[in-house]
Structure 1
Amino acid sequence: MRGSDYAPPMWLRSPHVQTLLASSDLRRRRSAQTLAATGAVTTAHLVDGGDGVRLQGHHSVVPGIEPRGLALLLHGWEGSTESSYMRLTAAQMLGLGFEVFRLNFRDHGGTHHLNPAIFHSNRIDEVVHAALDIAARFAPRPMLAAGYSLGGNFALRLALRAPAAGLQLAGVAAVCPVIDPSRTMLHMERGHRLYLRHFERTWRASLRRKRELFPEQLAFDDATLGLGMRELTDWLVRTHTDFGSLDNYFDGYSIAGNRLSSLQVPADILMAADDPVIPLDAFHDLTLPAHARVEISRWGGHCGFLLDHSLDSFAERWVAGRLSGHARAAQTSSERTRLAAAIRARPRSPEA
């Protein structure tokens, strides 16, 4: 664990300014323009999440180049492939010679119609299965992954499962990832109510849309939608999962303590000490292998890390730099392996 090089100007040192500007309409418009300026061709794809699950995403590649690898990007809760940080990170990766696949989680990015069952944060199996499908469709190696907030949690769990799943993952990067969901809930409840209210409002709209599409399977009433965050999550757990209790559900996708200690994939994590959504203390309690690093910045808010009035972000450059480094290391390792194999295969001169 070490400090981060990020240091914004004084007017950007409020965590609330950082967080709100990072998700502003101004930055959203700029992200669309920046991605378009790369000249990349972007196509929509339905990918296989296993057991009949369908997930949707967007693949981008700059014509005329041989990609150095494929970057899989994962958004946060109630975000989408079109979130500002997703587009801007994609633009950074494309500029470094990678192709990019931005994946929507179930019920995100207007994909509620694809699957009857509701999204929840323990649906990691379908993301692993989708990553395998994406890897099979696009040939360049290595494959890398990055995520923001809940997407960072998914990226790190994807890395944990990659070796057993047969997914060749060269490295991951996570920005302000959810580490301990139970602590995160408490942190939001005790902090500025703006963030809790935002997630309540967007989640209720998502559930309302889901009910409209699947009224027979999802016959919950408006009183249920009026519940607060903790109570609504408890309802979800009891009625739409097999976890039985809120504690079991939170434990199911927690990566706190020593749960990342068995990581075989190189990993980098960027966190802001002033994050108003994700509590910092869980990061200090992590037990990590030598090839996993945590960088803590004094400033940044939640997935902000804005640099100046242009609303460019240190985080998106950081992700691109870390993933590019992992790709370079994987390529070097692959070349050494091929060289060693070639040397072993050489015919030996007969002994005198």
Structure 2
Amino acid sequence: MTSFHPPRLLRNAHLQSILASTRLRKLRIGPRARLLQQASREVLVECADGTRLVGEYAEAQGESKGLVILIHGWEGSSQSTYMLSAGSALYQAGYSVFRLNQRDHGPSHHLNRELFNSTRLSDVLGAIEWIQAEFPHETNYLAGFSLGGNFSLRVAANIEDRKISLDQVVAVCPVLNPVNTMEALDSGWWVYEKYFVRKWKRSLKTKLKHFPELGYEKDLLTLRSLREMNHFFVPRFTQFKDAPTYLLAYAIIGDALSNLQAPCHIIAAEDDPICGAEDLPNLAKHSNLTVESTAFGGHCGYVSNFKLDSWVDQRLLELFNPT
């Protein structure tokens, strides 16, 4: 097992968090990411309940080592730098890779009238069931980043009555307790909240172009923070009465992971400024759950050197192919 020990000058949590998604890093992974994208084709995912999602599938050249489904974080997409980086590393190592866009992420805003929210686990369960039926493989893996990691772990705890096979699940810096994550965004470094407010508003505006009857255009102009946006959208566009109730509904602390049906591995950084590691002791103890806690890494950073290589990419390869 490799451990994460970045050079001293790369140990700052904010630097790690930001570097991982910079244009410089996208340029660094450019050549191998282009290979992945050239091999990928866009796929419309049609879930049994009528939900439609979209993703990108790259079939392994030659005999596949297995199918890996990757799930991005909130307001990310199949084109996010970390998705392209991990996907291209796995593809080059001989895996088939499916990069799934969640509802209202990537080019999917027109596919479903109802807005995305983080409790829509049925979307992801239905998508994985469809993907595995459409692209059957002997071995199947799932990996998610940030909110995608949260979804991945909840999937593993809710597949008992589904035609889903998972040999290994990996969650990188998953959202553990959304109440604390939202508080960290609200009271932490302003750059993070501004980033998510801007991206969420852009996504909501795109949604309105396809479904203007949703009617929140004027209200969106007055909302300035994530807290304000949650207080407006949660009671109007989800089944929850208020934001705290909604946030707790997709927390994975307590007994939420007590029914894990597949081996799950969490990679979490102790210095994560968004999904703090303080909630790790509050996870259910389960034989299918292992937690790998690193001193550094920031939020989904894990930039291992000045070449901007990703330690997580290598770690995924080790976890999916331990021999």
User: Would you call these one fold, judging by a TM-score over 0.5?
Assistant: yes
Deviations 1:132-170 (A, max 9, x none): 000001121211100000000011011111222121111
Q: Within the alignment, does 1:247 sit opposite 2:261 as a pair?
A: no
Measured in 1, the distance between the counterparts of 2:107 and 2:71 equals 15
Partner of 2:181: 184
User: What's the CA shift for 1:298?
Assistant: 0.7
Q: Specify the SS of the correspondent of 1:164.
A: coil
Partner of 1:35: 33
Deviations 1:223-265 (A, max 9, x none): 5552310121121111101111212211211101232122121
Matched pairs, number: 323
Measured in 1, the distance between the counterparts of 2:91 and 2:209 equals 38
Q: Within the alignment, does 1:118 sit opposite 2:115 as a pair?
A: yes
Taking only aligned residues, the RMSD between alpha carbons, in angstroms, comes to 1.8
Measured in 2, the distance between the counterparts of 1:97 and 1:128 equals 25
Q: Would you say the 8 A contact 1:224–1:232 is kept in 2?
A: no
Q: Would you say the 8 A contact 1:38–1:62 is kept in 2?
A: no
Q: Specify the SS of the correspondent of 2:235.
A: helix
Partner of 1:90: 87
- Gaps in structure 1 of 5+ consecutive residues: 329-352
Taking a change above 3 Å as real, the CA distance of residues 294 and 158 of structure 1, as seen in their structure-2 partners, is same
User: What's the CA shift for 1:110?
Assistant: 2.5
Partner of 1:174: 171
Mean alpha-carbon deviation: is it higher for 88-97 or for 144-153? Answer: 88-97
Q: Would you say the 8 A contact 1:94–1:100 is kept in 2?
A: yes
Partner of 2:318: 321
Mean alpha-carbon deviation: is it higher for 169-178 or for 308-317? Answer: 308-317
Q: Specify the SS of the correspondent of 2:160.
A: helix
Measured in 2, the distance between the counterparts of 1:169 and 1:161 equals 12
> Any residues of structure 2 matched to 1:326-341 within 5 Å, and which?
none
Measured in 1, the distance between the counterparts of 2:281 and 2:263 equals 19
Measured in 2, the distance between the counterparts of 1:101 and 1:324 equals 18
Partner of 2:96: 99
Partner of 2:263: 266
Return the match for 1:10 from 8, 23, 35: 8
Taking a change above 3 Å as real, the CA distance of residues 138 and 14 of structure 1, as seen in their structure-2 partners, is same
Measured in 1, the distance between the counterparts of 2:23 and 2:55 equals 22
Measured in 1, the distance between the counterparts of 2:86 and 2:202 equals 27
User: What's the CA shift for 1:176?
Assistant: 0.3
Partner of 1:128: 125
Return the match for 1:51 from 28, 49, 55: 49
Name the TM-score, length of structure 1 as normaliser. 0.87
Taking a change above 3 Å as real, the CA distance of residues 41 and 313 of structure 1, as seen in their structure-2 partners, is same
> Any residues of structure 2 matched to 1:125-274 within 5 Å, and which?
125-223=122-220, 226-274=223-271
Mean alpha-carbon deviation: is it higher for 69-78 or for 261-270? Answer: 261-270
User: What's the CA shift for 1:30?
Assistant: 3.0
Deviations 1:279-320 (A, max 9, x none): 111112212212311111111011001011221111121122
Return the match for 1:297 from 276, 294, 299: 294
Measured in 2, the distance between the counterparts of 1:141 and 1:274 equals 37
Taking a change above 3 Å as real, the CA distance of residues 32 and 56 of structure 1, as seen in their structure-2 partners, is farther
User: What's the CA shift for 1:41?
Assistant: 1.6
Identity of aligned residues (%): 36
Taking a change above 3 Å as real, the CA distance of residues 4 and 193 of structure 1, as seen in their structure-2 partners, is farther
Taking a change above 3 Å as real, the CA distance of residues 168 and 24 of structure 1, as seen in their structure-2 partners, is same
Measured in 2, the distance between the counterparts of 1:39 and 1:282 equals 36
Return the match for 1:67 from 64, 67, 89: 64
Instruction: Return the letter of the residue paired with 1:251.
Output: L
Measured in 2, the distance between the counterparts of 1:114 and 1:291 equals 35
Measured in 1, the distance between the counterparts of 2:181 and 2:36 equals 36
Taking a change above 3 Å as real, the CA distance of residues 39 and 218 of structure 1, as seen in their structure-2 partners, is closer
Q: Specify the SS of the correspondent of 2:246.
A: helix
Partner of 1:282: 279
User: What's the CA shift for 1:36?
Assistant: 2.5
Indicate the structure (1 or 2) with the bigger Cα radius of gyration: 1
Measured in 1, the distance between the counterparts of 2:321 and 2:170 equals 10
Q: Would you say the 8 A contact 2:91–2:97 is kept in 1?
A: yes
Q: Would you say the 8 A contact 1:4–1:297 is kept in 2?
A: no
